[in-house]
Each structure stands twice: as structure tokens, then as C-alpha cells.
Amino acid sequence: METQMRFSIPVLCLILIGTFTQGGAADPIRVGIRHDAKPFVYREAGEPKGFLFDLCKAVLDTSGLGYTLVDVNAANRLSWLGDEDRIDLLCDPVTVTLDRAARFQFSPIVFVSGGSFLYFDDKEQNDAIYLAGLARIEQAAAGGTLTDFNGRRLVPAKNGIVSYENGDPPGADAHQTKVASCHGIEASGRIGTIRIGVLDGSTAPEIINNALQSGRSVIPRSGWDTVCYKVFETHQTGIAALCSREPDSSGVPLSYYFGDRDIILSYLDTLRTDGAVDCGPVAVSDRFFSVEPYAMVYSDRIAPAEIKILQKALLETFSAVRETTTPTGTPWRTTLPFELFARYFPGKDPSPSLITLFKSMIVPER
């Protein structure tokens, strides 16, 4: 027997209103944003802002689709976008990689950065860090807990740092060929004498590893020096640790901090402005060890029709000509990406590759 359901007019109206959000979408798109990826996505006085956030917001507003903001961090952003089903779209400086492209859908590339590192531009400080590492090596060798990269035991040497028990120095076959976490290195009988800070969940360990294996690394290799990476939850805490020059529980301070150059420079400037820690002798390398193309990332839970709407809105956002003014008040006819670059990278010019990227996304109406 068929049962009919009847609703009063007020109840029916509430049901219908509850199924729609801004733009008419049945379920709002859950947009993941970070609070600590300045100048791309961050919060200031509680309000989200940044080059990528403002760009994503313009795209979403242009699309007419409903959306809500969800706070994420570097460690959980991709798992929340994937199996954990916590967000549907990620507006974040996420590097496009082949591995990630196999798991997620990416928008066209919207920004290009590069991986580089911060270091001490001070010989006295560098010597102090190096000597701290050597002291830990000699201590471990004297205690009988130090090994080379092939697992052979190293002992204190009479005319050098360490040697094998038969007196031979560590040979080329004992050199490091792969970078591991400092915790794992020490658990296997090594000492992380050259410690590199990285952000949790970033591609930095893979980039450092590739540089070491290809010979492009600026870090010296020997049978006793060990390069390892130490993970930090935020760039700010990692760079502050580098600036403080304080040894951690291992007795060795950080030698470098690696990350996307634009981001680590921004946080270095912030720490210098705040004055909470002395970052005076810290400098950024001019070398790039990777190209970091950023894009918006979609989960498979977004309907194909909505992704098509978002992709069109992205091209419209890049193509629309805007009448605005420069920071000095001069009239300026430009597009939103160039305007946002001037806002969030004050005093800097976009690189030729970035100019080409922004211009290549300007498409005709028909």
C-alpha cells in the first residue's frame, strides 16, 4: 500500500531552503585553507588572506558555487582531501607532482615558486655549528655507538675525527647516499651533524635527497658527517629554531632550513620584524633546487559539472582586465594575478617565468 507524506507549507519551505546554499549548490564546497603559508594563504587578525586565498576566493565567487572554509595544516591537507573526506577543494601552495596527479585533480598551474634554503651567513656561527656536530661524533665514537653508512663501527682516530677499528679512514663507499629523518638517523647509530629543518608534509625531503644523489647539494659529504632532516609543524617554528642557534636534544643546532623560497623569505622577514628572535645573520640562498608549480586541488567528490564551472571561473579570473592603482597611487590597468602579486610581494617584480604564466592564462572570450 502506497503511503503519502504530507508537509505543511512552512515545513516544506524550510526543507527546500535547507537544501541550497549560495549559488544554488545542494552542498557547499568545503575549501581547505592554511593559516601559516604566508604570503600565499594565512590569517591576519583572524581573517584569511594571501595571494592564493584571494585568487581562490575570486574564482569561487565568480563560479557562483556555494562554499565554506575549513582550516587545514601542511600535514593533514592531502589526507583530508583524500580518504578522510574532510574537504573538497584545497587552496594552498601545493606542488603539482605526478604522484599527486594520480590521486587528485588539479586546476591549471596558477603560480611557480622554487625550493631553496636559509643558512647562516656568518663564519663564526657556521664553525660553532660544525664543531658542535664533531663533538657529538667523537662522543658517540668513544661510546662505541657510531657506525658508517654501511653499518661498520667507527672509533676515535688519533689523526682525524674517526676511523675503523683497523685504523682505516672511512672510504668513498661509506658516504651518505640517502637523506633520512634525524630521529631515524640517530636510532641507527649515526649522528645528524648537518640538520636541515623542513615543514611536515612537504616535498622537501625528496628534493634534498635528489640534490644529494645528483651532486647538486651544497652540503659536504664524508664518512662521518650525516645530513638529516628535522620536521617542524610550521615554517615559523622551524625558522625560529634556525635563528636561535640553540642545540636540540641531540646537542646539534640546525644548519639550514629548506622550503619554497617565497614562503621561507616571508616568514624570515616576519621574525625579523617581530624581533622575538635574532635572525640577523640568516640569509637565503640564490640557488634553486626545484621548481614548485602550484595549483588548486580538487577531490573526486566534486561533480564533473562543478569542476568545469570552476575551471571556467579560473580562466575568467585570470583574463578579466581591472582598473586599479599601484601602491603609489598611479592608475593601473592590469589583471588580478598581477595586482595580487604587487599586494603580497611588495617591492618585488615577478620573475619572467611568472609573467609568462600569468599572461598565458589570459584567454579570449570566443
Helical residues (DSSP H) of the chain, grouped into ranges: 9-18, 51-63, 77-81, 98-101, 123-142, 182-187, 204-214, 235-244, 261-274, 304-319, 336-344, 352-360
Residues 280 and 132 in one domain: yes
pLDDT reading at 136 higher than 80: no
Determine the average pLDDT of the residues in 5-16. Answer: 38
Indicate the burial class of 1 (C-beta count within 10 angstroms; 0-12, 13-18, 19 or more): exposed
Q: Which of 87-91, 116-120, 128-132 has the highest mean pLDDT?
A: 87-91
266 close to 233: Cβ distance less than 8 angstroms = no
318 close to 361: Cβ distance less than 8 angstroms = yes
| 3-class secondary-structure state, position 126 | helix
**DSSP classification of residue 173:** G
Higher pLDDT, 121 or 65: 65
Residues 324 and 263 in one domain: no
Tell me the three cell numbers of residue 327.
Answer: 601602491
250-271: burial string, b at 16+ Cβ within 10 Å, e else: bebbbbbbbbbbbbbbbbbebb
- Domain finish residue from 237, 263, 291: 291
Residues 219 and 327 in one domain: no
For residue 220, cis peptide bond before it (omega within 30 degrees of 0): no
H or E segment to which residue 334 belongs? strand 331-335
Report yes or no on 174 lying in a domain: yes
Residues 146 and 273 in one domain: yes
pLDDT reading at 13 higher than 50: no
Of 9-13, 52-56, 142-146, 232-236, where does mean pLDDT reach its minimum? 9-13
Tell me the three cell numbers of residue 239.
Answer: 625558522
Determine the average pLDDT of the residues in 210-227. Answer: 64
Predicted pLDDT of residue 19: 33
pLDDT reading at 172 higher than 60: no
Tell me the three cell numbers of residue 73.
Answer: 595544516
Residues 172 and 204 in one domain: yes
**DSSP classification of residue 114:** E
Q: What is the pLDDT of residues 333-355, one digit of tens each?
A: 899 999 999 999 988 888 888 99
The residue to which cell 674517526 is assigned: 162
> Which residues does residue 181 pair with via DSSP β-bridges, in sequence order?
229
Q: Name the band, by pLDDT with cuts 50, 70 and 90, for residue 9.
A: very low
- Domain finish residue from 240, 266, 291: 291
Residues 223 and 313 in one domain: no
Mean confidence (pLDDT) of the chain: 82
Report yes or no on 2 lying in a domain: no
Determine the average pLDDT of the residues in 224-239. Answer: 86
Residues 216 and 191 in one domain: yes
Predicted pLDDT of residue 16: 34
pLDDT-above-90 percentage for the chain = 42
Q: What are phi and psi of 219, to 5 degrees?
A: -95, 125
Residues 152 and 91 in one domain: no
Do strands 331-335 and 154-156 pair parallel, antiparallel, or not at all (unpaired)?
Answer: unpaired
How many domains are contained in the chain?
Answer: 2
CA-CA distance, 173 to 346, in Å (whole number)?
48
User: Treating both helix axes as pointing N-terminal to C-terminal, what angle do 51-63 and 336-344 enclose, rounded to 10 degrees?
Assistant: 150
Report yes or no on 278 lying in a domain: yes
Predicted pLDDT of residue 191: 66
Predicted pLDDT of residue 25: 41
Of 84-93, 121-130, 197-206, where does mean pLDDT reach its minimum? 121-130
pLDDT reading at 91 higher than 90: yes
Determine the average pLDDT of the residues in 239-250. Answer: 86
What single letter denotes the amino acid at residue 144? G
Higher pLDDT, 328 or 309: 309
Q: What is the pLDDT of residues 288-307, one digit of tens each?
A: 888 889 999 999 889 999 99
Q: Cβ of 3: how many Cβ atoms within 10 Å?
A: 4
Tell me the three cell numbers of residue 32.
Answer: 581547505
Q: What is the pTM of this model?
A: 0.73
**DSSP classification of residue 226:** -
Q: What are phi and psi of 249, to 5 degrees?
A: -60, -20
Q: What is the pLDDT of residues 43-64, one digit of tens each?
A: 999 999 999 999 999 999 999 9
Q: How far is CA 197 from CA 189, 192, 194, 207, 357, in A?
A: 20, 12, 10, 13, 30
Predicted pLDDT of residue 32: 96
Residues 143 and 226 in one domain: yes
Could you tell me which of 33, 39, 34 has the C-alpha nearest to residue 51?
A: 39
Question: In which domain, by residue range, is 124 found?
Answer: 116-291
pLDDT-above-70 percentage for the chain = 83
Report yes or no on 1 lying in a domain: no
Q: What is the CATH number of the domain that holds 38?
A: 3.40.190.10
- Domain finish residue from 241, 264, 291: 291
Q: Name the band, by pLDDT with cuts 50, 70 and 90, for residue 96.
A: very high
Predicted pLDDT of residue 8: 43
> Which residues does residue 294 pair with via DSSP β-bridges, in sequence order?
95, 111
Report yes or no on 129 lying in a domain: yes
Could you tell me which of 54, 36, 38, 110 has the C-alpha nearest to residue 350?
A: 110
Report yes or no on 258 lying in a domain: yes
173-185: burial string, b at 16+ Cβ within 10 Å, e else: ebebeebbebeeb
Residues 120 and 95 in one domain: no
Sequence-distant (6+) residues with CB within 8 A of 162 are: 137, 138, 141, 146, 154, 155, 156, 170, 223, 224
Residues 94 and 229 in one domain: no
**Long-range Cβ contacts of 320-329 (<8 Å, 24+ apart):** none
pLDDT reading at 14 higher than 70: no
Q: Name the band, by pLDDT with cuts 50, 70 and 90, for residue 17.
A: very low
Residues 177 and 307 in one domain: no
Report yes or no on 245 lying in a domain: yes
Report yes or no on 100 lying in a domain: yes
CA-CA distance, 267 to 271, in Å (whole number)?
6
Predicted pLDDT of residue 329: 77
